[in-house]
Amino acid sequence: MFFFERGWLSANNILLLGPDDAALVDTGYCSHAEQTVELVASTLDMRPLTHVLNTHLHSDHCGGNAALQARWPDVQTWIAPGQAAQVQDWDPVALSYTPTGQSCPRFRADGVLQPGSAVTLGGRPWQVHAAPGHDPHSIVLFEPERRLLISADALWEHGFGVVFPEIEGVHAFVEVGATLDIIEQLQPAVVLPGHGALFTDVAAALVEARRKLAGFVADPLKHARYAAKVLLKYKLLEWQQIPASDAVAWALATPYFGTLHARYFADATATAWAQGLLAELERSGAAEVRDGMLYNRG
């Protein structure tokens, strides 16, 4: 098993090699697709990639699918259940790419990872568990013999991913908590998260995640502000630098920002609110505004 820790623009990738299979779990963001293909090809040497698996269909977890399918045309691509029809019809709104202002080249899906089933990866059976919250369709993968957990964005060493259903007005904090309970019940020895380094102190990570969740439950506005800053910072990771006025214009044209503003921040104009987000990123050290330009930092 090879764990490719990527920068935050791309989710981490896990490559598992077995006697008869070579499977990659999650494929990063589209702007890193060429690098993803090179990482996989150099590790496989002359072996073909047989399977691609996506824990969920956010753009940073499946943005390399199309490039991998082009490089290995016979690769089988399995996705988390719930959005197979949207992939077949290619609906970028339902798949979240238009609402987030992100990109994902069209790819095909050959099957789904059904919770309650198991898949063979690297010659070992991995259990498929539903992990809603961050994304209603997300799954995690668990290998019980070595107690390895591929947690995607359900659990990081220092938290978890934005609870996207909450942006749309769907109450999902309880699902985040239920997913953390499932992870605790599995008792993993090693967690391979969607972002950040792999870790073994799972108990401490769960304590921190539950503390963070409790804060969001007590103050949903805190989560809304966090979500807006994460979406803007994520795009800044892609841009690296852009005129600050263009960043504000992008936010004003991106549906999720409009939804967040209308639901939580309508006491300010949309422009003033977006400008305030840039200022908050700058105060936190995540960005810098200089001579009218917005630069990525941190």
CA end-to-end span of the chain: 30
Average pLDDT over residues 210-226: 97
In this predicted model, what pLDDT tens digit does every residue of 50-105 receive, in sequence order? 999 999 999 999 999 999 999 999 999 999 999 999 999 999 999 999 999 999 99
pLDDT of residue 269: 97
Burial, 259: exposed, middle or buried (Cβ in 10 Å; 0-12, 13-18, 19+)? middle
Q: CB–CB of 163/216 below 8 Å?
A: yes
pLDDT of residue 298: 87
Interstrand relation of 118-121 and 111-112 (parallel, antiparallel or unpaired)? unpaired
Phi, psi (deg, nearest 5) at residue 25: -100, 115
Tokens of residue 66, six digits: 């199309």
pLDDT tens, 233-285? Answer: 999 999 999 999 999 999 999 999 999 999 999 999 999 999 999 999 999 99
| H/E run at residue 119 | strand 118-121
The residue extents of the domains of the chain are 2-217, 220-296
Q: Give dist(CA 208, CA 86) in Å, integer.
A: 35
If you average pLDDT over residues 15-36, what whole number do you get? 97
How far apart are the C-alpha atoms of 91 and 283, rounded to whole Å?
A: 37
- Give the pair of three-digit tokens for residue 83: 């959005």
Residue 234 near residue 281, CB atoms below 8 Å:
no
Using alpha carbons only, give the angle 219, 169, 161 rounded to the nearest 5 degrees: 65
What's the pLDDT at 79?
98
Taking the C-alpha atoms of residue 280 and residue 275, their distance in angstroms, rounded to an integer, is: 9
User: What confidence score (pLDDT) does residue 258 get?
Assistant: 97
Where does residue 89 rank: exposed (0-12), middle (13-18), buried (19+ CB within 10 A)? exposed
Q: Cβ distance 122 to 21 under 8 Å?
A: yes
3-class secondary-structure state, position 87 = helix
pLDDT score recorded for residue 24:
98
Burial annotation 178-208 (CB, 10 A radius, 16+ → b, else e): ebbeebeebebeebbbbbeebbeebeebbeb
Q: Convert the pLDDT of each residue in 120-171 to its tens digit.
A: 999 999 999 999 999 999 999 999 999 999 999 999 999 999 999 999 999 9
The mean per-residue pLDDT over the stretch 34-45 comes to 97
- CATH architecture of the domain with range 2-217: 4-Layer Sandwich (3.60)
